[in-house]
Chains A and B, each alone.
Chain A
Amino acid sequence: MIAFPTTPTAAVRLAGTIRAGATDVEERRRSGRLNGDVVDLRDLAIGAPELVSLSVSSGLSLGALVRVSALDTPALAPWNGLREAAQTLATPQIRPVATVGGALLQQNRCGYLRHPDLRAACYKAGGGGCAARTGDHLRHALFDTGACISVHPSTLACALIAYGASYGVQDREGTRIAGALEGLYGDGSDALKDHLLPAGTLLTGVHIFEPPRPAAGFEPSAYARATGRVWAEWPLVEAVVRRTTVGVVFSVGGVAPVPLRLRTAERAFDSGATVADAVAEECASRLILDDTRYKVQLLVGLLQHLLERTASAP
């Protein structure tokens, strides 16, 4: 059954898979990978306009139902890495449909998880193992943080985390700011979940409270991804680099089962280490998967590329 609640309060009382832009959920339903009830958010904005609003003041607020293409606006110049991330992800036909909330809470793309015949060998599909670990994981994680080694697919999460974004939720208790977006994903040790949002909870939006630093003028930041082709490809590695007055930010995706900041590398770089050494230091503190070790080099190249691009303000 598909329900079309008209208020967030009604939505959180319904059980089922949340569907917003439907760019992934619809394919999973049609291919039989996803069964059961659906809670479609199509009509939600009528009673909750904040869900579709993008507002810029000293910070940035994005409603969960804001379309990804709406982020491609000059108003986002202070958060250039976020804007570039939104310009790059998926394809031009997906971006006007996909929502911020959907992008943050999407299911990961591991070929074992999504193969109809391989689900018994995937934790996230309810199975009892990780076939990718013993099988093909060329595009999987570099950092081995838990039983599942697939990477988190959310480019927007990688970008928002770079700016210290928080997320808001609504559940039966009401609405609130739930904490830092990084916390929505945990540390990558939970093999069963793409994110830690409890059932019966609706993501209402994300907020960057912290104004860009330096407050005068723009803080340079940029997004890029490493792929074989130019467009429309899941990244091998992606990153936002921010240069702030208090230090550099390296927020990366394609590296671990969760989007994350490389804080060890950030500190090392701020203390004068080269990018290569900073990344090496980060990797020394991590468990590394052998077959994806090439991502170390990619990470170095990508961060170097972004440091060049952010060397001077736009």
Chain B
Amino acid sequence: MIRERLGLTGAKEACGHGACGACTVLIDGVPEVACIKPASHLEGRDVRTIEALSGAQPAGPVDLSLLHPVQRAFLAEDALQCGYCTPGFVVEAIAYYRSWRAAHQDGEAPPLPDVERALSGHLCRCGAYEAIRVAVQGACAGAFEGPLAAAPPRVDGPEKVCGRAKYTVDIDVPAMAEAAFVRTPVAAATLTGIDARAARAIPGVLGVLRLVDDGAMLRHAAQAVAIVVAETRDIAKKAARAVEVAVTRGPVACDMRSARAPGAPRIYVRRGKLPVSSEMPVIPAGWHGNERGPLRSDIGEHGGQARKATASPAMSGVWTTSAQCHTALEPHACIARWEGGTLTVWASTQMVRGLAEELADRLDLPLAHVRVLAEHVGGAFGAKAAWDPHVGFIADAARQLAVPVRYVPDRHEELMLGGYRPPQEIAVSVAMAGNAMSGISMETRGDSGVAVGANVGAIMRLRYPNVPKYLADYDVVTHAPAARPFRGPGGPPGYFALEGAVDQVAGNLGLSPVDLRRGHDPAPGFQRLYDWAGRLPVWHQLSEINRGSGRYRVGVGLGTASWYHFVAAGAEVELIADASGFHVRTACQDMGNGTRTALAQAVGDALGVDPSTVLVEIGDSGFVPGPMSAGSRTTVSVRPAVFDAAGPLKSALVQFGSQALKLVGATAGVGGIAHAGGFVPWAQVLAVGPNTTAVGKRKVDPAGYAIPLAIGGTAIGRHCSAAIQISRVRVDTWLGRVTVQDVWAGFSVGTVHSPVIARSQAVGGIIQSLGYALHEERRLDPSTGALLSYNLEDYHLPGIAETPSVEVWFDDTPIEGLATGGIGLSEVTTCGGAASIANAVYRATGWRPMDLPIRPDRLLAGLATLAKPPPAPAEAPPDVPWGTS
């Protein structure tokens, strides 16, 4: 009602059942979720959306002075990333601000637990909670009543905090119809018939199109078999439910255990081209039943030597992880519109250019006849970086029915089909020679559902370069939907196991877990991180194991990680200078990672202008080909291209500027033209000049690439990033809960160009790893393969109260030989967190978590395996041996 009929699209629908708070509005001044509010309950009531709370904004750029202080606080503290949940948070925070300020003076900030409680009905998948808490506290204390001291660090922040940013779900295409999919209820089914007569008879249904033939094997539950297009979404969904799907059921194996059991049903009898869950190319390997592999990643790493050494290991164990769903709050929405032979698709995607190429290829159209648009993307995390079959179906339906068609997956579809990090089972053995590691063996089994590519070894080969390693990956196919690359694919599970094993070896042998690692990390980046961490007050506690017996036990754990330097080789940007200023354009996108800010900053740095004056135009495949936003490559790809374009652009501006303004001895200076008679800023040159453009390219790093050939446009650069995370946890041994109290995270990624945005991204990665370690777990029904954790009540994203205090440190030493002096950041921030938290639980209790997530039942069972401590006195105070820093 609010979004579709009134066109007020600031409030977002993300879960549809009142659990995420993205649709929060004020009803008679009280924040309520709109998604489950019957319209009849609003009669005669005062409803305020984010649009009504943002001041009387003029058209054009957002006037920051008209914003609510809470909005200014969100901007100043960078309390947002993708921005999709932001309007909901802001509305709630405004109500809280009002009630707090009514009872308190300026300078009085509410305590954190109070803020957390007030905002506990809101979820942010990007993990901006830490900055949100600070922003709300600051606003309540009255720190943002006046204008901001500096321009907001995120250039698209202003339109996000006032609900103006348009996501795919907000696009209103005239005469647009809505689609819903008919899906198989169970996995391992053979389709025997579809009866759509009842659905077709429903008024408002425009068409029902079959997607698969009878006899087709439907391997996982919720596979699409037909698409219904109707005048409204409600009608389409109702009609989809009215379609009868007949199937013959077979035995289901939707997890690795059942798919590997003797007599397990074969997921693939004939294997064609299988879906791929990896960002890396899938290398051929042999099959044994449902298992494929091994894929060895230890070429040249003395795998044989490692196997020999680990035949008598110092420790070995098997670590397991669960499926972590990407759960971007904006679903994989798309709209397709045909005009003659040309197709326009609005899609929530990490690759406007790549999606246009895929569509052109699949629909046999010239690329110039396909345009993909994604102005804002409400989170992605890897789930929107690959071909989505539903985009093809929607494009096809729009063409067949000659009407623009939109599809917005609901949260159930999103959690089932929107992507997940493959569950892993990882056997690790570590051999020791004296106080040093002499061999590491990792054998991994990954469940990408019907897909393959759950590789871990390719990442693990980056760690401990002087230790011989045996790295063998197996894929186990199951009756689950295809997994997709999830931020740092292979990293979080691999490091959880590897870093757990290293920590355990250190614990068993009484070695410092720091010294043990340090000896195997010759890279200067790691050495600088250890030096930084060595100055932290908690540093010495990393070697301790708490043998206390109180209810609460505190421990400090270390996790480290490394990641590749990926580059979108040849990515282009276009710089435009005209009377209105400088524009930068590229077919790239911003999913909250800060692409717009990176581009504005690059232009600012290259031309010596204020980044906030640069107009950034992205999210359109029609622009010069920019990078996909995956593999932490966006900034390191577009920034050099901006500098590449800036040279010729400046030359051209100097040339006509010196003629038009009759300058003598003109050269390009910082922010304008330096000449014999003084200095002319660019603005004056642009005011008199013709429009000038220059296209720049991402060229090879001065140091070259690690592999000279770019594969699919992706080059692997020299050098790797380094990360260490130290977590302090408190374990409640009565209620089975792990609380991460503090995190200290250091990253060595070379030069950091936008420290505020980078910090936000790092904290987000840390929060996602916390969810992975403690809370997130997809659950499938074993007998049907249907999803049981299909909403945001049963799929547990970390909330604001789970957010630790986080200290982030960037080494910030430029890496020589790299075009930007740095390496992409996003993925490495989420890789070591689960290891660090699990190691902290071990240090807190003496019990090592081997299975993620560390649920209350697992923790209690684990603690029960320890020698029984003497009974604690019933009224004992919390046992916090180290206090807080």
Instruction: Give complex CA distance A301, B734 in Å.
Output: 4
CB B156 to nearest CB in A, in angstroms, measures 27
In the complex, B117 has a CB within 8 A of chain A:
yes
Contact A93 B24 (CB under 8 A): yes
Contact B799 A117 (CB under 8 A): no
Query: Which chain A residues border B33 with CB–CB below 8 Å?
Result: 93-94
Using CB atoms, name the residue of chain A closest to B774.
Answer: A228
Query: Which chain A residues border B799 with CB–CB below 8 Å?
Result: 229-232
In the complex, B735 has a CB within 8 A of chain A:
yes
Partner of B21, one of A27, A93, A298, A308: A93
Q: Which of A132-140, A258-266, A281-289 contacts B (4 or more CB under 8 A)?
A: A132-140
Using CB atoms, name the residue of chain B closest to A230.
Answer: B801
Query: Which chain B residues border A111 with CB–CB below 8 Å?
Result: 779, 781, 788-790, 794
Contact B41 A42 (CB under 8 A): yes
Contact B120 A230 (CB under 8 A): yes
Contact A91 B21 (CB under 8 A): yes
Contact A27 B18 (CB under 8 A): yes
CB B186 to nearest CB in A, in angstroms, measures 7
Query: Which chain B residues border A96 with CB–CB below 8 Å?
Result: 30, 32
Query: Which chain A residues border B36 with CB–CB below 8 Å?
Result: 22-24, 26-27, 30
Query: Which chain A residues border B789 with CB–CB below 8 Å?
Result: 111
Contact A118 B781 (CB under 8 A): yes
Count of chain A residues near B, Cβ 8 A: 53
Instruction: Give complex CA distance A297, B736 in Å.
Output: 9
CB B734 to nearest CB in A, in angstroms, measures 3
Partner of B40, one of A4, A232, A234: A4
Partner of A22, one of B38, B732, B787: B38
Query: Which chain B residues border A297 with CB–CB below 8 Å?
Result: 736, 860, 864
Using CB atoms, name the residue of chain B closest to A291.
Answer: B857
Contact B782 A136 (CB under 8 A): yes
Mostly, the A contact residues are loop
Residues A1-59 near B (CB distance < 8 A) = 2, 4, 19, 22-24, 26-27, 30-32, 40, 42
Contact A118 B121 (CB under 8 A): no
In the complex, B796 has a CB within 8 A of chain A:
yes
In the complex, A192 has a CB within 8 A of chain B:
no
Instruction: Give complex CA distance A29, B845 in Å.
Output: 47
Query: Which chain A residues border B857 with CB–CB below 8 Å?
Result: 138, 236, 294, 298
CB B520 to nearest CB in A, in angstroms, measures 35
Residues B194-232 near A (CB distance < 8 A) = 221
Partner of B18, one of A19, A94, A294, A308: A94
Instruction: Give complex CA distance A228, B802 in Å.
Output: 10
Partner of A32, one of B19, B238, B732, B801: B238
Using CB atoms, name the residue of chain B closest to A110.
Answer: B788
CB A7 to nearest CB in B, in angstroms, measures 18
Contact A308 B735 (CB under 8 A): no
Partner of B786, one of A118, A134, A298, A311: A118
Contact A234 B241 (CB under 8 A): no
Partner of B737, one of A116, A135, A228: A228
Contact B793 A109 (CB under 8 A): yes
Query: Which chain B residues border A294 with CB–CB below 8 Å?
Result: 736, 856-857, 860-861
In the complex, B56 has a CB within 8 A of chain A:
no
In the complex, A172 has a CB within 8 A of chain B:
no
In the complex, B125 has a CB within 8 A of chain A:
no
Contact A230 B734 (CB under 8 A): no
Contact B117 A92 (CB under 8 A): yes
Contact A308 B875 (CB under 8 A): yes
Contact A298 B736 (CB under 8 A): yes
Query: Which chain A residues border B733 with CB–CB below 8 Å?
Result: 301
Contact A228 B856 (CB under 8 A): yes
Q: Please encode chain B, from 841 to 871, with 1 for each CB lying within 8 Å of some chain A CB and 0 for all others.
A: 0000000000001011100110010000000
Query: Which chain A residues border B237 with CB–CB below 8 Å?
Result: 32
Instruction: Give complex CA distance A138, B794 in Å.
Output: 12
Q: Please encode chain B, from 705 to 723, with 1 for each CB lying within 8 Å of some chain A CB and 0 for all others.
A: 0000000000000000000
A93-B21, A94-B18, A135-B783 in contact; A226/B856 too (CB < 8 A)? yes
Contact A22 B37 (CB under 8 A): yes
Using CB atoms, name the residue of chain A closest to B800.
Answer: A231
In the complex, B16 has a CB within 8 A of chain A:
yes
Instruction: Give complex CA distance A300, B863 in Å.
Output: 15
Contact B221 A117 (CB under 8 A): yes
Contact B783 A229 (CB under 8 A): no
Contact A134 B788 (CB under 8 A): no
Instruction: Give complex CA distance A96, B153 in Å.
Output: 36
CB A117 to nearest CB in B, in angstroms, measures 3
Instruction: Give complex CA distance A46, B41 in Å.
Output: 15
Which of B117, B736, B853 has the most A CB atoms < 10 Å from its CB? Answer: B736
A117-B221, A232-B19 in contact; A136/B735 too (CB < 8 A)? no
A19-B38, A228-B775 in contact; A134/B783 too (CB < 8 A)? yes
Query: Which chain A residues border B118 with CB–CB below 8 Å?
Result: 92
In the complex, A305 has a CB within 8 A of chain B:
yes
Query: Which chain B residues border A300 with CB–CB below 8 Å?
Result: 734
In the complex, A307 has a CB within 8 A of chain B:
yes
Contact A136 B856 (CB under 8 A): no
Query: Which chain B residues border A228 with CB–CB below 8 Å?
Result: 737, 774-775, 796, 853, 855-856
Query: Which chain B residues border A4 with CB–CB below 8 Å?
Result: 40
Q: Please encode chain B, from 127 to 152, with 1 for each CB lying within 8 Å of some chain A CB and 0 for all others.
A: 00000000000000000000000000
CB A136 to nearest CB in B, in angstroms, measures 6
In the complex, B433 has a CB within 8 A of chain A:
no
Residues A186-212 near B (CB distance < 8 A) = none
A-B contact pairs, 28 of them (CB 8 A): A2-B38, A19-B38, A22-B37, A91-B120, A93-B18, A93-B33, A93-B92, A94-B121, A96-B32, A111-B779, A112-B781, A117-B186, A117-B786, A134-B783, A135-B782, A135-B783, A136-B782, A138-B779, A138-B857, A228-B796, A228-B856, A229-B802, A232-B120, A233-B793, A298-B856, A301-B733, A301-B734, A305-B735
Show the binding face of A for B, using Cβ within 8 Å: 2, 4, 19, 22-24, 26-27, 30-32, 40, 42, 90-94, 96-97, 109, 111-112, 115-118, 131, 134-136, 138, 226-234, 236, 294, 297-298, 300-302, 304-305, 307-308, 311
List 16 other contacts, CB 8 Å, given A93-B33, A230-B802, A232-B799. Answer: A27-B16, A30-B16, A92-B121, A115-B788, A117-B221, A117-B786, A135-B782, A136-B788, A138-B779, A226-B735, A229-B798, A231-B799, A232-B121, A233-B796, A297-B864, A298-B857
Show the binding face of B for A, using Cβ within 8 Å: 16-19, 21, 24, 30-33, 35-38, 40-41, 92, 116-121, 185-186, 221, 234, 237-238, 241, 410, 732-737, 774-775, 779-784, 786-790, 793-794, 796, 798-799, 801-802, 853, 855-857, 860-861, 864, 874-875
Enumerate the 9 nearest inter-chain pairs by beta-carbon distance, A residue then B residue, closest first: A91-B121, A301-B734, A117-B185, A231-B120, A230-B801, A294-B857, A111-B788, A26-B36, A27-B17
